[in-house]
């Protein structure tokens, strides 16, 4: 306990408190973000997640009372008490987040558990205090979200989780407290007000969200500093903006990475890869990426090729390139212990591997057998690893898949005392474990950026808060279970709320044998997951779109084509993600915080603000209830206009995924293609759903960093509905990308019109079913549709 406040002083935005038994710092990052810091292990922050912190101006007023100090920004009031207890209020003095003034008092687990363990029954951890522990009051009407990749439901209230990156291939179910990723961030929603807490601590950490006692929730860690950020909303969107302001945002990816991706453990040899590629083209199923899993390597030695299976890697990747395919290869961290193998030799010579406490390189087992673990916490090692990416880039590889980086180990976990250099602050595995994958991804990202000059595509299994700056993620080894399809929705939604805009699951499921129905339903979800990759395990039955029957293939084709049609809309969402941190797949509540019915929807989501997706997640089901929030919605497939603010019953036979478009939406779409870059992007089709609304569309070269220098276009489109007419106003807000669209079509959905005027002149229009289509020049300013 820190004891009573003796005194405090202000230094700029920092308040340095002197307590009887130590110091504590409260730092104002912005009017809405406040850091609470107690230097316990390190004198300074030692964040792996936050790279630059830019303080934002705010007025700060401080008031000293006998027993507390009040610090008021433009948006929140923080009240600091003895023992560095801190309460947060809004400006009207409504409590937001208060300390719990009592001791932990958990429920009792009765009985001697060893008898149950005899049968193999899994039991829960007993009550334990943590070295670092912060206990907050529960009012009872909270909803909790976030925590990155966790099993279970959207709302985490009443559950307990741990942060310790874990590779456990058994079926992921609700009693799992850990998985591959550690994102110690959550958001609380209460009384239509949201705040977030980011606990910036890489040691094993613990979050009990009112499970052990409904009077409080707590977060804690085994070691490190007490270091957390309070992030005020009041909207959920502002909390996500605040959190990603700190830890970084998903950068705009190359557009091809948003296409369909096909993976399998493993497509080898070369002829099998070619066969897969040809099938996609022959069957008219768009696809951009084929992955090579571990068997492309020479004896699982990273940064090598098996020359028997892939005679000439460059020719091989070139051949695929000609057909419009990119190749992404897996790279695991484990380096085979093998004298004469260049990566091993270089690592040993330079001391690049993690060691035991006596400084001897630590050995465990992964795919190659005895393997060593590069110490990515050392700048020199990250540089080395990033330079090694050149080997892959030079072979024509377009992206890198980082796996097994929890790190995984087949001969038991890495002991706590495995040593890491930690950029000048030597430490052990307990501190580096959770950021091992994060640091590996960072090194990979930097290497790919350097050697391709393009926006890197990295996909990682393990990560930490902030990895979103470098890498997309997938949710590891799920199973071909309907249960896992169902779980994918809340899991991805919470990952999105936790900064990971670019995420996905193995479509079809990784382990176990997929069924035609499951693949059909999974591709309907995959079509809307930011990362759209079908992947399956060695020895499971084939799972490519055509692996079952014609009907399943047709459903795959339909949704994969829909994905390509929607690419410009999806790309806009990514542009938004880079600028605001907002996810692509969104729980409804972030746009409908006034509507409590949206707080616990586990089986439907928004795709951006304009589209609502309500997939079928159960076997045999061909209809479902869909909650449509207030406003009017259009059924994407039938065009029917439906009033929201209620649950509707929707028929959804096997080829239908219920999709709704919000009235007033303007959805930019592309014409058909087999892969990104097959044709020039000369034509954009704007699908306009009747209603008042505005939309901004983003366009650039889809691959380079030139957009950072301003080489992009922003088109603003406004729809105004008046009596008897629909007016579309078009303006270009930014135009520095010169290779933009040559032609834009406006498709007025579900509307037959009498005549159309472009900038005052009557023009031709085409009737396509119930839609009206006009062509415009990019310079046109206004369309008037008379209806
Ligand atoms: C791990 C990965 C999986 C991959 C396999 C072989 O299980 O999670 O995606 O296919 O290793 O590399």
Provide φ and ψ at 662, rounded to 5°: -70, 140
Strand 399-402 with 458-460, pairing: parallel
Two tokens at 254?
A: 């190359």
Q: Where are the alpha helices (DSSP H) in 250-290?
A: 270-282
Q: Which of 504, 506, 436, 502 is nearest to 470 (CA)?
A: 502
What is residue 779's predicted lDDT score, i.e. its pLDDT?
A: 77
CB 589 within 8 A of CB 606: no
Q: Where are the alpha helices (DSSP H) in 303-395?
A: 313-322, 342-350, 379-394
Four-residue CA torsion sign, 660, 666, 672, 675 = negative
End-to-end CA distance of the chain: 72
Confidence of residue 124 (pLDDT cuts 50, 70, 90): confident
Two tokens at 505?
A: 């699951």
Q: For residue 185, with 0-12 CB atoms within 10 Å meaning exposed, 13-18 middle and 19 or more buried, which class applies?
A: buried
Task: Give exposure, 18-49, as e/b (b: 16+ Cβ within 10 Å).
Answer: ebeeebbbbbbbbbbbbbbbbbbbeeeebbbb
Using CA positions, which residue lies closest to atom 4 of ligand 1?
A: 265
Mean pLDDT over 309-322 rounds to 98
pLDDT tens readout for residues 680-696: 999 999 999 999 999 99
Q: In testing the pocket of ligand 1, which one of 180, 462, 510, 539 has its CB within 8 Å of the most ligand atoms?
A: 510
Mean pLDDT of the chain: 97
CB atoms within 10 A of CB 703: 19
Listed in order, strand segments (DSSP E) in 581-643 are 585-586, 605-607, 611-613, 623-628, 632-635, 641-643
Confidence of residue 122 (pLDDT cuts 50, 70, 90): confident
Q: Which atom of ligand 1 is nearest to the CA of 294?
A: 12
Strands, sheet with 641-643, edge to edge from the N-terminal-most edge strand: 585-586, 605-607, 611-613, 659-662, 632-635, 641-643
Using CA positions, which residue lies closest to atom 7 of ligand 1?
A: 477
Q: In testing the pocket of ligand 1, which one of 165, 263, 290, 293 has its CB within 8 Å of the most ligand atoms?
A: 293
pLDDT tens readout for residues 553-582: 999 999 999 999 999 999 999 999 999 999
Which residues fall within 8 angstroms of residue 326, CB to CB, at 6 or more apart?
Answer: 256, 288, 289, 290, 320, 398, 399
The label of the residue with tokens 């690592």 reads: 347
Ligand 1: does its nearest atom lie under 6 Å from the Cβ of 461?
yes
CB 166 within 8 A of CB 175: no
CB atoms within 10 A of CB 769: 9
Residue 780: pLDDT above 80?
A: no
Ligand 1: does its nearest atom lie under 6 Å from the Cβ of 294?
yes
Q: For residue 655, with 0-12 CB atoms within 10 Å meaning exposed, 13-18 middle and 19 or more buried, which class applies?
A: middle
Two tokens at 726?
A: 């629909």
Q: For residue 709, with 0-12 CB atoms within 10 Å meaning exposed, 13-18 middle and 19 or more buried, which class applies?
A: exposed
The label of the residue with tokens 């002197």 reads: 18
Q: In testing the pocket of ligand 1, which one of 168, 264, 268, 330 has its CB within 8 Å of the most ligand atoms?
A: 330
For the residues of 136-155, what is the DSSP string, one character each? EE--S--EEEE-SS-SS-S-
pLDDT tens readout for residues 172-229: 999 999 999 999 999 999 999 999 999 999 999 999 999 999 999 999 999 999 999 9
pLDDT tens readout for residues 402-440: 999 999 999 999 999 999 999 999 999 999 999 999 999
Q: Which atom of ligand 1 is nearest to the CA of 266?
A: 10
* CA 145 – ligand 1 centroid, Å: 28
Q: Which of 470, 586, 503 is nearest to 179 (CA)?
A: 503
Confidence of residue 781 (pLDDT cuts 50, 70, 90): confident
Strand 14-19 with 5-11, pairing: antiparallel
* CA 534 – ligand 1 centroid, Å: 13
CB 718 within 8 A of CB 749: no
- In which element (H, E) is residue 714 found? strand 713-722
Ligand 1: does its nearest atom lie under 6 Å from the Cβ of 330?
yes
Ligand 1: does its nearest atom lie under 6 Å from the Cβ of 697?
no
The predicted model scores a pTM of: 0.98
In whole angstroms, what is the distance from residue 733 CA to residue 710 CA?
12
In whole angstroms, what is the distance from residue 256 CA to residue 396 CA?
15
* CA 371 – ligand 1 centroid, Å: 17
What is residue 778's predicted lDDT score, i.e. its pLDDT?
A: 76
Q: For residue 442, with 0-12 CB atoms within 10 Å meaning exposed, 13-18 middle and 19 or more buried, which class applies?
A: buried
Could you tell me which residues are beta bridge partners of residue 185? Answer: 198
Instruction: Determine the length of the chain.
Output: 787
Ligand 1: does its nearest atom lie under 6 Å from the Cβ of 403?
yes
What is residue 103's predicted lDDT score, i.e. its pLDDT?
A: 94
In whole angstroms, what is the distance from residue 319 CA to residue 310 CA?
12
Could you tell me which residues are beta bridge partners of residue 218? Answer: 135, 208
Two tokens at 660?
A: 């709704």
In whole angstroms, what is the distance from residue 79 CA to residue 96 CA?
12
Provide φ and ψ at 238, rounded to 5°: -70, -30
* CA 504 – ligand 1 centroid, Å: 15
Two tokens at 333?
A: 């961290």
DSSP-based three-state secondary structure for 105:
coil
pLDDT tens readout for residues 266-303: 999 999 999 999 999 999 999 999 999 999 999 999 99
* CA 302 – ligand 1 centroid, Å: 14
Confidence of residue 341 (pLDDT cuts 50, 70, 90): very high
Q: Which of 714, 775, 419, 686 is nearest to 576 (CA)?
A: 714
Confidence of residue 23 (pLDDT cuts 50, 70, 90): very high
What interhelical angle do 482-497 and 516-526 show, nearest 10? Answer: 10
CB 707 within 8 A of CB 701: yes
The set of catalytic residues is 403, 406, 477
pLDDT tens readout for residues 480-527: 999 999 999 999 999 999 999 999 999 999 999 999 999 999 999 999
DSSP-based three-state secondary structure for 336:
strand
* CA 335 – ligand 1 centroid, Å: 16
What interhelical angle do 270-282 and 313-322 show, nearest 10? Answer: 0
Query: Quick one: how many helices (H) and strands (E) in the chain?
Result: 12, 52
- In which element (H, E) is residue 695 found? strand 693-699
What is residue 115's predicted lDDT score, i.e. its pLDDT?
A: 87
In whole angstroms, what is the distance from residue 619 CA to residue 93 CA?
50
In whole angstroms, what is the distance from residue 5 CA to residue 149 CA?
39
CA–CA distances in Å: residue 307 to residues 295, 313, 314:
11, 8, 11
CA–CA distances in Å: residue 785 to residues 266, 669, 686, 717, 753:
54, 20, 15, 15, 6
In whole angstroms, what is the distance from residue 378 CA to residue 209 CA?
35
DSSP-based three-state secondary structure for 518:
helix
DSSP-based three-state secondary structure for 24:
strand
Question: What is the maximum span of the chain, computed from C-alpha positions, in angstroms?
Answer: 85
Q: Which atom of ligand 1 is nearest to the CA of 293?
A: 12
Q: Which of 701, 739, 696, 729 is nearest to 714 (CA)?
A: 696
Q: For residue 206, with 0-12 CB atoms within 10 Å meaning exposed, 13-18 middle and 19 or more buried, which class applies?
A: buried
Using CA positions, which residue lies closest to atom 10 of ligand 1?
A: 265
* CA 165 – ligand 1 centroid, Å: 15
Q: Which of 63, 67, 58 is nearest to 93 (CA)?
A: 63
**% of the chain beyond a pLDDT of 90:** 96
């Amino acid at each position: 306990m820190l004891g009573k406040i003796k005194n405090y002083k202000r230094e700029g935005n920092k308040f340095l408190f002197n307590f009887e038994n130590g110091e504590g710092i409260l730092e104002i990052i912005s009017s809405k973000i406040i850091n609470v810091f107690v230097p316990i292990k390190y004198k300074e922050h030692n964040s792996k997640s936050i790279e630059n912190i830019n303080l934002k101006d705010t007025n700060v007023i401080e008031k000293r009372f006998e027993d507390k100090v009040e610090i008021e920004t433009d948006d929140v009031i923080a009240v600091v008490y003895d023992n560095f207890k801190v309460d947060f209020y809004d400006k009207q003095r409504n409590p937001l987040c208060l300390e719990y003034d009592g001791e932990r008092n958990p429920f009792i687990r009765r009985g001697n558990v060893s008898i149950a363990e005899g049968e193999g029954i899994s039991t829960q951890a007993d009550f334990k205090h943590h070295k670092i522990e912060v206990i907050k009051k529960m009012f009872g009407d909270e909803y909790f979200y976030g925590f990155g990749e966790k099993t279970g439901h959207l709302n985490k209230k009443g559950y307990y989780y741990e942060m310790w990156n874990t590779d456990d291939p058994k079926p992921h179910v609700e009693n799992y407290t850990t998985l591959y990723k550690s994102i110690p961030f959550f958001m609380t929603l209460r009384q239509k007000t949201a705040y977030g807490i980011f606990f910036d601590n890489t040691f094993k950490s613990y979050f009990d969200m009112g499970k052990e006692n409904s009077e409080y929730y707590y977060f804690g860690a085994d070691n490190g500093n007490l270091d957390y950020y309070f992030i005020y909303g009041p909207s959920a969107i502002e909390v996500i903006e605040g959190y990603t302001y700190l830890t970084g945002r998903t950068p705009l990816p190359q557009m091809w990475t948003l296409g369909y991706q096909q993976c399998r453990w493993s497509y080898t040899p070369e002829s099998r890869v070619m066969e897969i590629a040809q099938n996609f083209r022959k069957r008219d199923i768009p696809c951009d990426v084929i992955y090579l899993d571990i068997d492309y390597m020479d004896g699982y030695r990273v940064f090598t090729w098996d020359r028997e299976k892939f005679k000439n890697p460059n020719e091989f990747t070139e051949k695929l390139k000609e057909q419009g395919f990119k190749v992404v290869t897996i790279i695991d961290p484990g380096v085979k212990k093998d004298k004469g193998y260049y990566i091993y030799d270089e690592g040993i010579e330079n001391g690049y591997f993690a060691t035991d406490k006596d400084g001897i390189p630590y050995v465990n087992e992964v795919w190659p057998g005895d393997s060593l673990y590069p110490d990515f916490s050392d700048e020199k090692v990250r540089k080395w690893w990033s330079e090694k990416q050149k080997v892959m880039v030079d072979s024509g590889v377009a992206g890198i898949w980082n796996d097994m980086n929890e790190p995984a180990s087949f001969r038991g976990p890495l002991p706590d005392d495995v040593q890491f250099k930690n950029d000048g602050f030597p430490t052990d595995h307990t501190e580096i474990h959770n950021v091992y994958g994060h640091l590996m991804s960072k090194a990979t990202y930097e290497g790919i950026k350097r050697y391709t000059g393009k926006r890197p595509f990295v996909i990682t299994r393990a990560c930490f808060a902030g990895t979103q700056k470098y890498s997309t993620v997938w949710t590891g080894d799920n199973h071909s279970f309907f249960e896992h399809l169902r779980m994918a929705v809340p899991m991805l939604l919470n990952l999105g709320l936790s900064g990971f805009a670019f995420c996905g699951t193995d479509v079809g499921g990784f382990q176990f044998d997929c069924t035609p129905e499951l693949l059909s339903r999974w591709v309907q979800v995959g079509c809307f997951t930011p990362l759209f990759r079908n992947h399956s395990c060695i020895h499971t039955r084939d799972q490519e779109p055509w692996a079952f029957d014609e009907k399943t293939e047709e459903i795959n084709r339909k949704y994969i084509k829909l994905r390509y049609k929607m690419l410009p809309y999806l790309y806009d969402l990514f542009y938004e993600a880079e600028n605001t941190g907002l996810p692509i797949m969104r729980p409804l509540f972030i746009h409908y915080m006034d509507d409590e019915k949206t707080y616990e929807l586990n089986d439907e989501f928004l795709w951006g603000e304009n589209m609502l997706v309500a997939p079928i997640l159960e076997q045999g089901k061909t209809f479902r209830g869909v909650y449509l929030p207030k406003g009017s919605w259009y059924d994407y497939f039938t065009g029917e206009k439906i009033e929201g603010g209620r649950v509707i019953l929707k028929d959804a036979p096997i080829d239908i995924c219920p999709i709704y478009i919000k009235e007033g939406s303007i959805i930019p779409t592309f014409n058909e293609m087999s892969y990104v870059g097959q044709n020039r992007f000369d034509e954009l089709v704007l699908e306009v759903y009747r209603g008042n609304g505005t939309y901004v569309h983003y366009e650039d070269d889809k691959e380079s960093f030139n957009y950072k220098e301003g080489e992009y276009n922003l088109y603003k489109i406004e729809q105004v509905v008046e009596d008897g007419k629909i007016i579309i106003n078009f303006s270009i807000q930014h135009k520095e990308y010169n290779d933009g669209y040559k032609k834009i079509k406006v498709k007025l959905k579900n509307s037959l019109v009498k005549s159309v005027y472009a900038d005052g002149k009557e023009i031709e229009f085409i009737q396509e079913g119930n839609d009206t289509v006009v062509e415009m020049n990019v310079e046109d300013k206004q369309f008037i549709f008379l209806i």
